[in-house]
Amino acid sequence: MREGDTKVTHEALAVIRKARINEFFARAIDTDEYRNAVALREQALERRTTLPAVNPPTEPTAPGELDAWLNAVTETRAAEQTRELQYNALTSAINTCDARIAAVVDLYPDEVLTALAADMTALLANVDTEVSKLNGARSPSEAIANNTTAAWNALRALRKGYDQLRDAQKFVMGADISHWASDYLYDDEHANRLFVRNIDTIFPGWRTPDTSRVTLSGVAPDPRPWPTDDPVAQLVWLATNAELWIPTHDELRELETELHRRFNPEPTVIPGRPDKRRKQAVVGTIY
């Protein structure tokens, strides 16, 4: 990340849990540093949990038991100090491991996103292969009609992988993902520039609702161009029409610059300044 980027922080336990349930995320953060930190953390937690308790000695009941009791008191106090010292040391080691685990995502988010993007590219290549086998089918009923249900079922499995990749991406980006989302399509995660690079082209009204049209009766038509009732049909449409991506922060900055130039082009003639075109024409005439 660079200066100026929003700082996203992750709890170490949340990172560990996500890696356990999301194979793409686990693969993206699978480094020696991460594995060693997790293993050491688990070992330190186990040692801290199993530190033996120190019980105070039973007070004497007869005069001849004083010396033994005092020795036991001294030993107990030393054992308590040793246990406290070891407990605090293990806690410090666990906290250090937590920082190392969180750093894998917090300090190097673009490395994780790049790994996820590579998996997304590979998955979408498989999606394209299966889509080509549909013979134009774009719904379950059409797949049944033209006998391409095998490809449709393969896409169903690929959709699960796709959703896992998006889940991993959202985890890495944290709350920042809402910065790139639609201002009104809150229930549709694909109305987001982090998911669809060319969203301004395929869905110009994705950011803000169209207030120029008023529906006098009934329900207003859904503005989204992609299917919303079937996840496989949606993936087929998106894979066919959209530029699906998992961008790094650098790639997002580059896209922002590109979009700014596209939607806010510099005027050829700026009031109060010389017309560069005319100057160039005059120079050309002299030559």
Query: What's the pLDDT at 221?
Result: 82
Percent of the chain predicted with pLDDT > 70? 86
Position 107 scores a pLDDT of 94
CA distance readout (Å), 149 to 155, 162, 229, 234: 10, 19, 18, 16
Query: Domain limits of the chain?
Result: 12-106, 109-209+224-263
| Residue 256, pLDDT score | 85
Selected residue with higher pLDDT from 60 and 286: 60
User: What residues does 132 pair with on adjacent strands?
Assistant: none
pLDDT in tens, 135-194: 999 999 999 999 999 999 999 999 999 999 999 999 999 988 998 999 999 999 999 999
Helix (H, G, I), strand (E, B) or coil at 244: strand
Tell me the percentage of the chain whose pLDDT exceeds 90. Answer: 78
Q: What is the pTM of this model?
A: 0.82
d(CA 19, CA 52) in angstroms, rounded, equals 32
What backbone torsions phi and psi does residue 26 show, to the nearest 5 degrees? -60, -40
Q: What is the pLDDT of residues 177-235, one digit of tens each?
A: 998 999 999 999 999 999 999 999 999 999 988 666 655 555 668 899 999 999 999 99
